[in-house]
Structure 1
Amino acid sequence: MMTTYLERASHALALVCRVVAGIALVALLAVTIADVSTRYLYRLTEGAIALRVTGSVELVSYLMLCSLLAAMAANVEKSQVVVEAFSHGLAPAIKNRLHGVYLLGFAALGLVLFLGLVDSAQSAAGHGEVTQDLRLPMSPIYYAAAALSLLLGVRSLIEALLGALFGRDAEVSHGE
């Protein structure tokens, strides 16, 4: 019963993270295509049409941050590289439990990132920190990254519990 609830929660969080990563990647591609197109149009018309995507490098970097954090959180259960030299003769349940213990490190990483980014967001809000090109406030960017880091930590913790306590194989139970 408990495993079913945890599996559903993990699956729902993974879906949210995949949607966020997908939206961020599509937006990143749209900014890149628009920037390249307007530069090409400028060269093609020899400067007659001078459209620019202001802050494109900045936009791409923050969208990349969101897409990477969301993708990491969405696929955390597939993160372990199995070293055959250590786990070759072990039973699958033991391998799954070791994977769960390994994921506790990702849960700790997500928590540390979350706390650091929340602190940065509060500092940025207090000092009025803005981005270099677009002059956007930095605190919402830090809060978004903190939320995605928290999702990474929560999903890692759920998957760690499922693997370490119940010996469950993440990829089989999610049907992926």
Structure 2
Amino acid sequence: MTATIRRVARVMENACLLIGAVCLLYMVFVVGFNVLARIIFDATDTAVNLMIPGAIEQVSYLLGLIALAALSASMAKGMIAVDFLVGRLPELWQALVARLWFIGILAFALVLCWLFYEDMLATFARGEATQDLRLPMFIIHGLYAVECLALAVIALREALTNDGQHAELS
């Protein structure tokens, strides 16, 4: 069972890296393009408007996707830790503390997943859409829920397999 969780977690990590990279590249493009478009807009006394509609809205929702994807992907080789106290413990206790930490992250991720899932259902039922682009809100909440589920699976893997050693110490 642990081997299956490891494989699924590895796929989810890679998917989160891909999602995060694509969203980040698009976000940088939108912001950069709109900065240049704003310069042209101001230089032409508002005659030429090349700005991307709903850019602020796009970037704000992309930022949520990027943050959740980065959180999931950051656990690939353990999170950076300051071990003033834990580093002085025997290895068995270090592993126990690390596993308890990841159990906490697992619980947090599952709560977030449940809350975003509930929001997805509620926004679908109400037919809510974003303000500028009129994108269905349930899609955004659904993506957030899926990324929180990925975080939960990766945290579960770490809770089952972490030995208390940190990537920055290797």
TM-score in terms of structure 2 length: 0.88
The corresponding residue for 1:78 is 78
Q: Give the C-alpha shift of residue 120 in structure 1.
A: 0.5
Unaligned runs of at least 5 residues, structure 2: none
- Structure-to-structure mapping, 1:97-176, within 5 angstroms: 97-163=96-162, 167=163, 169=165, 171=167
The corresponding residue for 2:20 is 21
Indicate if the aligned counterparts of 2:81 and 2:166 stay in contact, CA closer than 8 A: no
Asked if residue 42 in structure 1 is aligned to residue 37 in structure 2, the reply is no
Indicate if the aligned counterparts of 1:42 and 1:48 stay in contact, CA closer than 8 A: yes
Higher alpha-carbon deviation: 43-52 or 122-131: 43-52
Q: Give the C-alpha shift of residue 46 in structure 1.
A: 2.6
User: How many residue pairs were aligned?
Assistant: 168
- Structure-1 separation of matches of 2:141 and 2:87: 42
Q: Give the C-alpha shift of residue 90 in structure 1.
A: 1.7
- Structure-2 separation of matches of 1:38 and 1:91: 58
Cα deviations by residue, 1:124-171 (Å, 9 ceiling, x for unpaired):
0110111111111100000000000110111011111112xxx36464
Residues 137 and 4 of structure 1: CA distance in aligned 2, closer, same or farther (over 3 Å) = closer
RMSD: 2.2
Indicate if the aligned counterparts of 1:162 and 1:168 stay in contact, CA closer than 8 A: no
Unaligned runs of at least 5 residues, structure 1: none
Give me the identity figure in percent.
Answer: 28
Residue 159 of structure 2 aligns to which amino acid in structure 1?
Answer: A
